[in-house]
Structure formats: C-alpha cells, structure tokens
C-alpha cells in the first residue's frame, strides 16, 4: 500500500489566494451589477514588447526548417542568452559573473522552490516575515521546517526575521545562526529595497558564519533609486556566499512565456565542492531546458530596442505605483513601498485586521487587494496593492477608495 509524502500533508493549504478568490466570487455573484477591480495578484497586464514578439516569430520559423531546427537545449541554456545576461546584467554593473555561472530556467518560482535540494536535510532556513510563500513551503515539502503552529502561523525550525515599520522593512541579523538565508529585494510583498550598505552587512554576515544567501532579485528592473544594488554581486565577497535568482516575468512580461535564471558563482563552496557542480548535476538530471524560442525571446530583451521597450513598460507600471502611493497618502493612509518595487504596502485603517480591511474594501469600493497577514504574521495589519493593473482600472480603484475613506 502506498503512503504519501507526509511532509506535503503538513502544508497548511493555499489559504491566501483561494480565500481571496472565493470571497471575490461570492461578492460578484451577489452583486452582478458592480464592477470589481483587482489590484491583488502580482501578474502583469501589458503585452509582450515588439522586440520580443519579433524574436519569437523568427525562432518559430527556424523550428520549421530542418537546417535551423533545434532539439534539446544545452544543459545550462543557450550560450547566446547566457552571454548577453553576463554582459548586460553583470559586467555592465561591475560584477564578475561568467556566462557558465548562469543557469537558464523556466522562471524564478521553480528555482526558488528547488534550490533547497542542494542543502542538507537539517539545514536551518531564515526568511523575512512577511515573505513570498514559496521559500517556506518548498522547505516544508522537504521536511526541513519542524512543526506548524496554526495559531501563530509559524514553523518551529524556521528562523523568522520580522520586517516591520520599526526596522523600515529591512530584516535584522537573526539571533540564531541559519544555514540558508532567503532575501528578496526589491521585496514582495512590502515593496521595500535594501541599500548597498545594508546588503553588504548580510554578505559579510553570511561569509562570517558560513551561510548561503539565496537572493531573489525578480523585481530588480523596478529599482529607481541610485544607491540600491541591482545584484547581490555588487557587494564585496558575495561570490563566496550568494546564489542569485532572476526572472523575465516582471521586467519583460514573461509570466506566461516563462524564463528565468540562477547564478551560482564557482567560488561558492562547501569544503572543496562547488555548489555550482551540484546544480549543474541537478539540471542535467531533472531539467531539459527552457524552450529555444523562449530563450531567443529572452535574448531580444537584451537588445537596445528590447531594453528601451521593456523600460517603457516598467515605467508604465511605476507610474501606476506612483498614482496608488500618492492617492492613498492624500486620502490619509500610511503607505510604504512603490518606489523601487511594483508593490504598495499600506497600513490598514482604524486598527482593522488585514482580512477585515479586505472585506471592507471589497464591500465599500469593490476593490480587491491582498491581506498582508497572508504573507506571514508580521504582515498583519497591512495590505498589499499591486501596480500591475491597467491605468484606467488603477485610477478608478483609487478614486473609489478616496471617495470612501477621505
Ligand atoms: C519574489 C518572487 N520571486 C519569484 C516569483 C516568480 O517568478 P517567475 O514568474 O519567474 O516564476 C515571484 C512572482 O510573483 C515573486 O514575487
């Protein structure tokens, strides 16, 4: 008789987005005459840019001819893509990352969930609180997180690093020493960013205690301020302690097209074993690569034209972010984020819980956001709005909020 992986059974369930979906569905069914606007989900709405579409068409045509047809991609990804990434994302920023330290993938969600496989079963992880849930859930599935306290919403073997108003949503070094430290900046959900000096503290700490930082830079393209690092490798010493995850989802609208990459410097070692060689082994065994046509689409992102077009798209979303931030502030809300990230993290009014405010906003303004408590206990009392909507919807949603709360 088969038995299931007991670690999967420990997962508390996808409470957050399914509950949001159910509540929104029930509201729509009860009020078919009202238009509900969602600024809740972190998915893009703008189409792929022309440079990417052209590259996709060309690559599709190549696949239809025997001379240019491609089968399985090389294990690490095509050199044409790894070369432009190494040049544009790293060399241009003064970071020393070689093309063969870059592993092309189908996105950062899978990478952020899978990377834990490389580390021992008893490795202790540290995460920010609130947090992108994949980091914790993937470690739950791997049996690394101990027991769940349903009341607190925490795991006994996870080190939580609260990111609060008091510390400016920048985690403090934990009292207990972790083996793996997940950092995501610019941050989902709080929209905060770390300065280079703040990130350097983490790199020095990880090197000192022999920990690995898994640095999720999925929102790197949204950085607008000068002293915010785009890559952890801008920090001294990061090559010996950090893995970086990147995505084409939010900078170039690839949420449905799927492309990302992992950077593992060859200097990151346990004894004399390179972490790089383990990930290469895993890639070779478990993954057959992102599609050729999608890797060509990714290459087009790094052309002059592609860069101009995707920057315009990011600027469009950041204008939404500005509209949301300014409008909420004018209405009297306390608001964070939205400057180097497409997320606005607002404090709920009148001491309402995150879910109470969700219900109130849906009822009063017919607007959906994401309750902060869904991202971890320190998210209670906060609410996330995203800048990924259309301009009209964003303006309309904020007008409605202003009408009810001014
Ligand atoms: C922090 C963070 N990392 C990774 C991802 C997933 O990226 P991808 O679409 O490349 O899988 C998301 C998506 O919302 C995210 O917020």
Region of residue 379 (left: phi > 0; alpha: psi -120 to 50; beta: else): alpha
Ligand 1 mean position to 106 CA, how many Å? 11
Helices (H) and strands (E) in the chain, counts: 13, 17
In order of start, what are the domains of the chain with their CATH numbers? 6-46+307-405 (3.90.1150.10), 52-305 (3.40.640.10)
Query: Quick one: which of 141, 114, 94 has its CA closest to 264?
Result: 114
Q: Would you state the pLDDT for residue 36?
A: 95
Specify the ligand 1 atom closest to the Cα of 259.
10
Q: Would you state the pLDDT for residue 196?
A: 98
Q: Using DSSP, state whether 173 is helix, strand or coil.
A: coil
Contact 202, 189 (CB under 8 A): no
Residue of 17, 43, 103, 112 with the most ligand 1 atoms within 8 Å of its CB, for mutation: 112
- Distance between CA atoms of 371 and 197, rounded to whole angstroms? 31
Contact 282, 117 (CB under 8 A): yes
**Count of CB atoms within 10 A of residue 265's CB?**
22
- Distance between CA atoms of 76 and 289, rounded to whole angstroms? 8
As averages over each run of 10 residues, the pLDDT of the chain (406 residues) reads 96 82 93 94 94 98 98 96 98 97 98 98 98 96 96 96 97 97 98 98 98 98 97 98 98 98 98 98 94 98 98 98 97 97 97 96 96 96 97 97 90
Q: Would you state the pLDDT for residue 12?
A: 87
Region of residue 404 (left: phi > 0; alpha: psi -120 to 50; beta: else): alpha
Peptide bond into 239 cis (omega under 30): no
169 contacts: CB under 8 Å, gap ≥ 6 = 163, 187, 190, 191, 192, 336, 337, 345
Residue nearest to atom 14 of ligand 1 (CA): 42
Ligand 1 mean position to 172 CA, how many Å? 23
- Distance between CA atoms of 96 and 351, rounded to whole angstroms? 48
Q: Would you state the pLDDT for residue 13?
A: 74
Ligand 1 mean position to 222 CA, how many Å? 14
Ligand 1, residues at Cβ distance < 6 Å? 42, 107-109, 112, 132, 184, 188, 216, 218, 247, 249, 255, 260
> β-strand 335-337 against 269-270: which pairing, if any?
unpaired
Q: Would you state the pLDDT for residue 42?
A: 85
Q: Would you state the pLDDT for residue 17?
A: 83
Ligand 1 mean position to 29 CA, how many Å? 31
């Amino acid at each position: 008789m088969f038995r299931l992986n007991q670690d999967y059974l420990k997962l508390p369930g996808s409470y957050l987005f399914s509950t949001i979906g159910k509540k929104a569905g029930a509201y729509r069914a009860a009020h078919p005459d009202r238009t509900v606007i969602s600024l809740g989900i972190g998915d893009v709405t703008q189409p792929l840019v022309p440079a990417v579409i052209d590259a996709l068409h060309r690559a599709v045509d190549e696949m239809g001819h025997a001379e240019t047809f491609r089968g399985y991609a090389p294990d690490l990804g095509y050199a044409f893509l790894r070369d432009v990434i190494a040049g544009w994302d790293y060399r241009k920023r003064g970071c020393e990352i070689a093309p063969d330290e870059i592993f092309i993938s189908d996105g950062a969600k899978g990478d952020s969930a899978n990377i834990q496989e490389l580390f021992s079963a008893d490795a202790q992880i540290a995460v920010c609180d609130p947090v992108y849930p994949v980091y914790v859930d993937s470690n739950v599935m791997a049996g690394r997180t101990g027991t769940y306290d349903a009341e607190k919403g925490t795991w006994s073997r996870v080190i939580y690093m609260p990111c609060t108003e008091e510390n400016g949503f920048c985690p403090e070094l934990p009292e207990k020493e972790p083996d793996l430290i997940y950092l995501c900046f610019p941050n989902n959900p709080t929209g905060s960013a770390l300065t280079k000096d703040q990130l350097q503290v983490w790199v020095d700490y990880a090197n000192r205690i022999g920990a690995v930082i898994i640095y999720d830079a999925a929102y790197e393209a949204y950085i607008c301020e000068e002293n915010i690092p785009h890559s952890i490798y801008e920090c001294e010493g990061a090559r010996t302690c950090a893995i970086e995850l990147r995505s084409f989802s939010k900078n170039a609208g690839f949420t449905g097209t799927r492309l990302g990459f992992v950077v593992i410097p060859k200097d990151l070692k346990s004894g004399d074993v390179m972490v790089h060689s383990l990930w290469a082994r895993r890639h070779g065994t478990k993954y057959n690569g992102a599609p050729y046509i999608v890797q060509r689409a990714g290459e087009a992102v790094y052309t002059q034209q592609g860069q101009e077009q995707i920057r315009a798209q990011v600027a469009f979303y950041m204008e939404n972010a500005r509209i949301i931030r300014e409008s909420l502030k004018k209405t009297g809300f306390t608001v964070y984020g939205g400057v180097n990230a497409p997320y606005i993290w607002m404090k709920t009014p009148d001491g309402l819980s995150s879910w109470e405010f969700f219900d109130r906003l849906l009822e009063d303004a017919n607007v959906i956001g994401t309750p902060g408590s869904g991202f971890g206990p320190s998210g209670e009392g906060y609410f996330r709005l995203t800048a990924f909507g259309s301009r009209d919807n964003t303006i309309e949603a904020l007008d409605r909020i202003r009408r009810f709360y001014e």
